[in-house]
């Protein structure tokens, strides 16, 4: 299987192009976006040198499933998915914050806690917690949405409002929607034998001021999942939790001396490691959706994407 690391497509009415850490985004007539989920993978805000086969398809199809399953809570940007690696949707003006919600002390929150901090983004964390313990209730720990090339940074609700990054009336809505989306995600995950540990959501506004959910939702890039079976026993014994997320990639990088800091080199990603990451993404897809993963393979996947998107855009015009 080959990884699709980037695309260079041309569509009728195309007005702009942006390459993010993972997605290639094409603007159409300034009101539509064509978002191609590539097989690139990032960690510590760095795009790693090798792509992960199947990753883009997994991200796009999981996100599409949850966009559809949560549209009764908040409208979203999606119009259609003409190809397994592509979503076409409405262009929105993004809010400059990402809404991160955490139900368990793990990942970034645990690293901060381990280093002695007891507040994260202005939210208190109880004393006496162990890694992967559940918080009394989920906490919202926003981050500033980075411009290209910059790192996202933790920020409190108070600072967001003080700096005028988001209007208070909008921010309160974002918090309410975030909690509802997370509860829905946790409910669905539990049915599949998983725990939705934490996630992040991005929101924007349409020209009529409607708040919409944008980008991805409940994917392994934006979320962390534990297996429900064995969680309590592992916590009691002080064992690591089996999880489905990108955290194992971050841990592998840390163990090999890389955390995205100046002067550090990304370790060599051999074929076995790349294959193991690809398998983990497929495992998450099948576990979280309850569906069998069907690889979309093609001799020339770029041409296939271009043709399917072009056809879909004709129907929208």
Distance separating alpha carbons of residues 289 and 96, to the nearest angstrom: 30
For the residues 267-296, what does the mean pLDDT come to?
91
Q: Which domains does the chain have, with CATH numbers?
A: 14-92+270-316 (3.30.200.20), 94-244 (3.30.470.20)
Over the stretch 77-130, which tens digit does the pLDDT of each residue have?
999 999 999 999 999 999 999 999 999 999 999 999 999 999 999 999 999 999
C-alpha–C-alpha distance, residues 153 and 167, integer Å = 19
Distance CA 239, CA 231 (A): 9
Distance between alpha carbon 165 and the CA centroid of its chain, in Å?
A: 22
Q: H/E element holding 135?
A: strand 134-140
Torsion of CA 114, 195, 275, 201, to 10 degrees: -80
pLDDT at 247: 77
The pTM for the full model equals: 0.90
Interatomic CA distance for residues 284 and 117, integer angstroms: 32
- How confident is the model at residue 117, as a pLDDT? 97
Average pLDDT over the chain, rounded to whole?
93
Q: 152-172, pLDDT tens digit by residue?
A: 799 999 999 999 999 999 999
User: What number is the average pLDDT over the span 228-252?
Assistant: 90
- Chain centroid to CA 89: 17
Task: Please state, in angstroms and as integers, the Cα–Cα distance from residue 77 to each residue in 28, 216, 217, 226, following that order.
Answer: 14, 10, 12, 28
Tokens 């009415």 sit on residue? 13
- Look at residue 116 in the predicted model and tell me its pLDDT: 96
146 pLDDT band, cuts 50/70/90, is low
Hey, is 35 helix, strand or coil? strand
Give the rounded percent of residues in the chain with a pLDDT score beyond 70.
97
Confidence of residue 242 (pLDDT cuts 50, 70, 90): confident
Tell me the average pLDDT across 281-287.
90
- Which residues make beta-bridge pairs with 43? 46
């Amino acid at each position: 299987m080959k990884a699709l690391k980037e695309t260079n497509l041309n569509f009728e009415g195309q007005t702009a192009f942006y390459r993010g850490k993972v997605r290639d985004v094409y603007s159409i007539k300034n009101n539509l976006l064509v978002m191609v989920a590539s097989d690139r993978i990032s960690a510590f805000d760095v795009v790693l040198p090798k792509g992960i086969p199947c990753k883009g398809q997994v991200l796009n199809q999981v996100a599409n499933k949850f966009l559809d399953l949560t549209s009764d809570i908040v409208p979203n940007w999606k119009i259609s998915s003409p190809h397994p690696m592509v979503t076409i949707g409405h262009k929105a003006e993004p809010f400059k914050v990402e809404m991160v919600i955490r139900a368990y002390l793990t990942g970034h929150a645990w690293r901060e806690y381990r280093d002695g901090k007891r507040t994260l983004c202005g939210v208190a964390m109880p004393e006496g917690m162990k890694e992967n313990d559940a918080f009394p209730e989920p906490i919202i720990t926003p981050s500033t949405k980075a411009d290209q090339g910059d790192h996202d940074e933790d920020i409190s609700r108070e600072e967001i409002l003080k700096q005028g990054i988001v209007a208070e009336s909008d921010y309160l809505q974002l918090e309410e929607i975030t909690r509802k989306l997370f509860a829905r995600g946790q409910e669905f995950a539990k049915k599949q034998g998983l725990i939705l540990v934490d996630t992040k959501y991005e929101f924007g506004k349409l020209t009529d001021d409607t708040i919409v959910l944008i980008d991805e939702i409940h994917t392994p890039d934006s979320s962390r999942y534990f297996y429900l079976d064995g969680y309590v026993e592992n916590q009691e014994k002080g064992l690591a939790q089996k999880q489905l997320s990108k955290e194992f990639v971050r841990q592998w990088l840390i163990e090999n001396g890389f955390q995205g800091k100046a002067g550090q080199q990304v370790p060599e990603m051999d074929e076995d490691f790349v294959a193991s990451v690809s398998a983990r993404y497929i495992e998450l897809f099948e576990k979280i959706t309850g569906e069998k993963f069907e690889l979309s393979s093609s001799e020339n996947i770029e041409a296939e994407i271009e043709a399917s998107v072009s056809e879909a855009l004709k129907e929208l015009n």
